[in-house]
Amino acid sequence: MSTTTSKKIAIVTGASSGIGYAITKELAQHDYIIYACARRLEPIQPLVDEFSTSIIKPYKLDISIIDEVVAFKEFLEKELPGQKLDLLYNNAGQSCTFPALDVSDANMQKCFQVNVFGHVNMCRELSKYLINAKGTIVFTGSLAGIVSFPFGSIYSATKAAIHAYARGLHLEMKPFGVRIINAVTGGVDTNISDTRPLPEGSIYEFPEGKEAFEGRQRMAKNHHPMSAEVYAKKLMGDILSSRDPVDVYRGTMATFLGFVSLFVPYCILEFALIKKFHLTKVFKVLKERNAQGKKQD
């Protein structure tokens, strides 16, 4: 049953670690009540212990399952004072670091279900609560949605999709006074990095290819990522601000690469990516293999 409260109410998905955990803590420090949603609730317990169950309310939720999203909406129907939700922070994410031709259907579907469909479903199902409160919706976007890094095409596609959705939603929610923030995120120190090996039989399954692939997996850790706590403080500033810019650039290299992507021709950007990720040797091996294959034919 709902209770009367003057505190603002927030929902954070993917609250069990990284950005979601840090955002949940930051919101609690700013006097919000937070429904901290995640597939695993045990990692959220330290926040419950620190702030109490009246502030941090863990809720087991897999946003990739529509029935669970609908059940959460029905739960909130009885929980939310005045049927109002001040903040929906769509943070849950799924990594997918594989060469474009190696991504299995199952991995592709899971990535889109979490990174795109889950957030869209959350926004649709909870929209009336946000409209009632003239609230704010935040998405954890990514530089990968602007620059398609090597071995990350599917993840980039999901982030590009959510960027486009956020911008369309921003326009359509204007009459209702609901703000939309798409946090185009650069390097942040989280555990989302994909550590799965190259699939067996990959066209990159040779020493130079494996080296480049493993280097891509370590990309965030190797470039002085911003701490999740600092990132959360910056996003808290965006949430509390009256500005309504749609896209904000947060995290290591976010502003710089966002600027570069706008003004540098893609052919130059692609050349820089080849150099940055040591793909010259990889391409040489592949070209030699291809040439030998043609000779044999």
Q: pLDDT of 103-125, one tens digit each?
A: 999 999 999 999 999 999 999 99
Q: Which amino acid is at 249?
A: Y
Whether the CB-CB separation of 184 and 249 falls below 8 Å is answered with yes
The set of catalytic residues is 16, 155, 159
Q: What is the pLDDT of residues 52-66, one digit of tens each?
A: 999 999 999 999 999
* pLDDT, tens digit only, all 297 positions of the chain: 454 567 999 999 999 999 999 999 999 999 999 999 999 999 999 999 999 999 999 999 999 999 999 999 999 999 998 999 999 999 999 999 999 999 999 999 999 999 999 999 999 999 999 999 999 999 999 999 999 999 999 999 999 999 999 999 999 999 999 999 999 999 998 877 678 889 888 999 999 999 999 888 877 666 679 999 999 999 999 999 999 999 999 999 999 988 898 899 999 999 999 999 999 999 999 998 888 766 665
> 8-265, what's its fold?
Rossmann fold (3.40.50)
Distance CA 194, CA 192 (A): 6
* Pairing of β 56-60 and β 87-90: unpaired
Going by C-beta distance under 8 Å and a sequence separation of 6 or more, which residues neighbour residue 242?
A: none
Distance CA 253, CA 28 (A): 28
Closest to 145 in 3D by CA, of 132, 156, 133: 156
DSSP summary character for residue 37? E
**Which residue has 């199952």 as its token pair?**
106
